[in-house]
Amino acid sequence: GTGSNILSALQDLFWLLKSKVEKQLQIISVLQWVLTFLIMGIACTLILMYILCTDCWAIAALYLAWLVFDWNTPKKGGRRSQWVRNWAIWRYFRDYFPIRLVKTHNLLTTRNYIFGYHPHGIMGLGAFCNFSTEATGVGQKFPGIRPYLATLAGNFRMPILRDYLMSGGICPVNRDSIDYILSKNGSGNAIIIVVGGAAESLNCTPGKNSVTLKNRKGFVKLALRHGADLVPVYSFGENEVYKQVIFEEGSWGRWVQKKFQKHIGFAPCIFHGRGLFSSNTWGLLPYSKPITTVVGEPITIPKIDNPSQQDVDFYHSMYVDSLIKLFDKYKSRFGLPETEVLEVN
């Protein structure tokens, strides 16, 4: 009896230690991505400049030469690595929240797609985990489909960061890159565009389900030009993982944010999550709230080389209706009341 009690106590201790280690690994995995998002580009640029001024300048010079040679690779679909996409760190990243990907319809490998991802949130954590890694099984759920998450083109001017992003299948959100993937890369491609962009991030806050979409029609025009089907995607919980200071329209804070958005492409947000060692303190780590990304039914889009504004408006209206129906169908399953309404701005 004594021996079995000791064995039971040791097993309990083992599982307790294992649980703590896994939690710490989850925190580390999320922290590295947050730091990547916020400072990696600037940090790598400064480090490269410093190395140029040292005895190891040849290393930096060789990388810069490679950078010039490789400059247009992001515009041509990038350089994804299945090894990087399958890193164990992304599974810990997934389990921290946790993040889940829900498939509602099959996608044909003979077609190309533009996924509209909503909402942006502060960092688009659900978009990254679901489509730039294999942690939630996007490759198994949509076999034969190659996802490309589109992000700010300026990120691909940053040394090292550009290569890290490309390894996950991330591409610039510009016309050259999207045109190449949808017209010169065969079929079975899916470009994920966070339609609301920086403007939407300025209004994200826990408990609010709103999207910036009414005047965002460029992605519909691109879909028509290439005959790429549109797929609405909604991420329940994306707005819950950070708390943000919301500046009212007309305030100095909102004026500064809009100036940054206009001239640089992103809007600086004042936000906070939890601390590194305690969920009761403020810090850069997101709160561990569940994020569930639902991929809706594709909308078949005809190929029109020069779509009229009437064509764009018609399919944009179809897309908005489809997104609202997707939200209404799944909202109660993921913790929202039946009375919750998706706000489309």
Tokens of 237: 């919980």
Q: Which H helix or E strand runs over 165?
A: helix 161-167
Query: Where residue 172 falls among pLDDT bands split at 50, 70, 90?
Result: very high
Q: Is 245 exposed, middle or buried (0-12, 13-18, 19+ CB in 10 A)?
A: exposed
For the cut 60, the answer to whether the pLDDT of residue 176 exceeds it is yes
DSSP summary character for residue 334:
G
**Looking at residues 129-142, what average pLDDT do you find?**
97
**Above 70 in pLDDT, residue 21?**
yes
Closest to 245 measured CA to CA, from 210, 206, 216: 206
Average pLDDT of the segment spanning 284-312: 96
Q: Is the pLDDT of residue 32 over 60?
A: yes
**What pLDDT is stored for residue 5 in this prediction?**
63
Average pLDDT (315-332) is 97
Q: What is the mean pLDDT of residues 101-124?
A: 96
Task: Report percent pLDDT > 70 for the chain.
Answer: 94
Residue 166 buriedness (CB in 10 A; 0-12 / 13-18 / 19+): buried
What is the pLDDT averaged over residues 93-115?
Answer: 97
Helix, strand, coil abundance in the chain, percent, nearest 5: 50, 15, 35
Neighbour-count burial of 128, counting CB atoms closer than 10 A to its CB (0-12 exposed, 13-18 middle, 19+ buried): buried
Task: Say what the pTM is.
Answer: 0.91
Average pLDDT value over all residues in the chain: 91
With tokens 């890193």, the residue in question is: 87
Q: Report the pLDDT averaged over residues 30-52.
A: 93
As a dihedral over the C-alpha atoms of residue 312, residue 313, residue 318, residue 323, rounded to 10 degrees, the angle is 90
Classify 173 as helix, strand or coil. Answer: coil
Q: Note whether 209 and 327 are within 8 A (CB).
A: yes
| Coil, helix or strand at residue 272 | strand
Contacts of 63 (CB under 8 A, 6+ apart): 48, 159
Comparing 20-29, 242-251, 293-302, the range with the smallest average pLDDT is 242-251
Q: What is the CA radius of gyration of the chain?
A: 22
